[in-house]
Copies of this chain bind each other. A is one copy, B any other.
Amino acid sequence: MAYSAQRFAICLWVGMLAHGPTVAAVPAINGTWEIALVTLGVTQNRRLVISGQGSDYQATMGNLKFTGRWESGSLHLRCQAEVPCGELTLRGADTSITGEGNLNSAPATLRGKRSAVRPYAAPRTVDFEPKQFSGLFSSGAAPVLTLFPEDTVRTRTIDAEGFDAQGVRVTTLVNPQTGPFYVETAMPGDTLAIHFIKIRTNRATADMYGDALAANALEPYSLRREQKIPKGSSTWTLNTEHGVATLAQPSEKLAHFEVPLQPMLGCVGVAPAFGQSFRTVNLGAYGGNLDYSGVHEGATLYLPVFQPGALLFIGDGHARQGDGELTGTGLETSMDVEFTVDLIKDQSLGQPRIEDDDFVMISGIGGSLSDALQLATTGMVRWLKDTYGLNPGDIAMVLGSSMRYDITEIVDPQIHVVAKLRKDSLARIATAKGPAPGE
């Protein structure tokens, strides 16, 4: 699925919600609400969608479906499932809603607000100059900017040690993040799409901030035999004209060593689930410190949404990075970044997915290489099933013949392995919606 087509589809739908006739109905309770549902002291944020009139109302709230009737100034909803799952009574005004009842045998209350509608006609592009930075992926961080789906941001990131485009250290945080950006209407259970229009280095140097290989990348007994040497320079000179990086103070042997620039963002994440807060060295289902060269200009990263507004963070630009991120860093540098956000409502793979022109890539993030590979493979299996309707036998043939893995990093608190498939192969699989191009 190409990024632009999908964006267009979502655009149409959002437009219908905003301007359609249902908003004008007499009991103003119809529409899309963002609610906080409280059960035995535990709060969950959900999108509640209500439509209908009189004795014929429908509502959905996450996986739950309700039918209901309007009576005595309240909407009376009954949860529909094989086993009775509860009842709610709602009272709504123009912009706020409250309710109470019981769900799955526990008393429940809710309150919420109407989901926002973009107040300007077309998506806009905003320039944002970051002043302060976040050291946590957290729903507790105050948003620096509010966006609507399809909006674009032009901004900057500083490097992993806090040095900015001018080479000035502006924070001692590790992996300081630009953001978070609040994406209106994003709710848990959605997928946030971040399309990177631009990821470019904006200064002439990058640093690896270390000159030793990760100890866990080496055979343990070899570490005891290791030759200790004086610390060398790990600074690289970035030559954007020729698209290469060279060591700033190379040894004689590496005097002519150069590597192509492949700018990427090491960190792109949203606020994690359950109100948790993680240092920005971490990664997980919420993205974060992915440290993957696949997050480059032109790519789109899809992340599960866990908190209202998603709360998007970006940072940790690398002019280039080897597999495994073996020195614990890439060629760390500051970046000019331009990206568009979009939303896929009520769908979630539950883990990061990346697409560029060549590959569909699924992130597996776990405590060990083995766990990460298993999660990446299982994510790809699920994505093939969801997208193409393939059965397990089909999937075995596709992956057995064509799977590719990247070991993206082994040095962060969690290990990251990417499972990927070529798009030209995928293009020859018939989808649920239509035949493959070959047909």
Which residues of A are at the interface with B, using a C-beta cutoff of 8 A?
39-42, 106, 132-133, 135-136, 138, 140, 162, 169-173, 208, 210-224, 226-227, 229, 231-232, 234, 236, 245, 247, 251-259, 274-279, 320-327, 329-331, 366-371, 373-375, 377-378, 381, 388-407, 410, 413-415, 417, 425, 428-430, 435-439
Contact A136/B275 with A172-B39, A227-B391, A257-B429 known, Cβ cut-off 8 Å? yes
Report chain B residues within 8 Å CB of A162. 40
The answer to whether B256 and A439 have CB atoms under 8 Å apart is yes
The contact of A274 among B40, B135, B227, by CB within 8 Å, is B135
The answer to whether B401 and A245 have CB atoms under 8 Å apart is yes
Contact A393/B229 with A276-B136, A279-B276, A438-B256 known, Cβ cut-off 8 Å? yes
The answer to whether A390 and B320 have CB atoms under 8 Å apart is no
22 contacts between A and B (CB under 8 A): A41-B133, A42-B172, A140-B140, A208-B397, A213-B392, A215-B221, A216-B220, A216-B370, A232-B397, A234-B397, A251-B394, A253-B388, A253-B390, A256-B428, A256-B429, A257-B397, A276-B277, A322-B404, A323-B405, A325-B400, A327-B396, A368-B370
CA of A390 to CA of B247 in the docked complex: distance in angstroms?
15
**Residue among A140, A274, A330, A369 facing the most chain B CB atoms (10 A cut-off):** A369
Report chain B residues within 8 Å CB of A368. 367-371
A230 to B: closest C-beta gap in Å: 8
- Oligomer copy total: 4
**Residue among A222, A278, A436, A438 facing the most chain B CB atoms (10 A cut-off):** A222
Residue of B nearest to A374 (CB): B219
**Residue among A133, A212, A219, A400 facing the most chain B CB atoms (10 A cut-off):** A400
Contact A171/B40 with A218-B378, A253-B388, A373-B410 known, Cβ cut-off 8 Å? yes
Beyond A326-B396, A367-B368, 14 extra complex contacts between A and B, CB < 8 Å: A41-B170, A136-B274, A218-B378, A219-B374, A252-B430, A253-B388, A253-B390, A257-B397, A322-B400, A324-B373, A367-B367, A369-B370, A405-B406, A407-B417
Residue of B nearest to A170 (CB): B40
The answer to whether B429 and A253 have CB atoms under 8 Å apart is yes
Report chain B residues within 8 Å CB of A325. 400
The contact of A219 among B375, B402, B429, B438, by CB within 8 Å, is B375
Report chain B residues within 8 Å CB of A216. 220-221, 370, 374
Contact A224/B223 with A257-B398, A400-B322 known, Cβ cut-off 8 Å? yes
The answer to whether A226 and B392 have CB atoms under 8 Å apart is yes
Contact A392/B212 with A39-B172, A172-B39, A224-B223 known, Cβ cut-off 8 Å? yes
CA of A366 to CA of B219 in the docked complex: distance in angstroms?
11
The contact of A394 among B254, B370, B404, by CB within 8 Å, is B254
A323 to B: closest C-beta gap in Å: 5
CA of A430 to CA of B256 in the docked complex: distance in angstroms?
8
A44 to B: closest C-beta gap in Å: 9
The answer to whether A401 and B259 have CB atoms under 8 Å apart is yes
Report chain B residues within 8 Å CB of A40. 162, 169-172
Residue of B nearest to A399 (CB): B326
The answer to whether A213 and B373 have CB atoms under 8 Å apart is no
Residue of B nearest to A223 (CB): B223
The answer to whether B326 and A377 have CB atoms under 8 Å apart is yes
CA of A29 to CA of B324 in the docked complex: distance in angstroms?
51
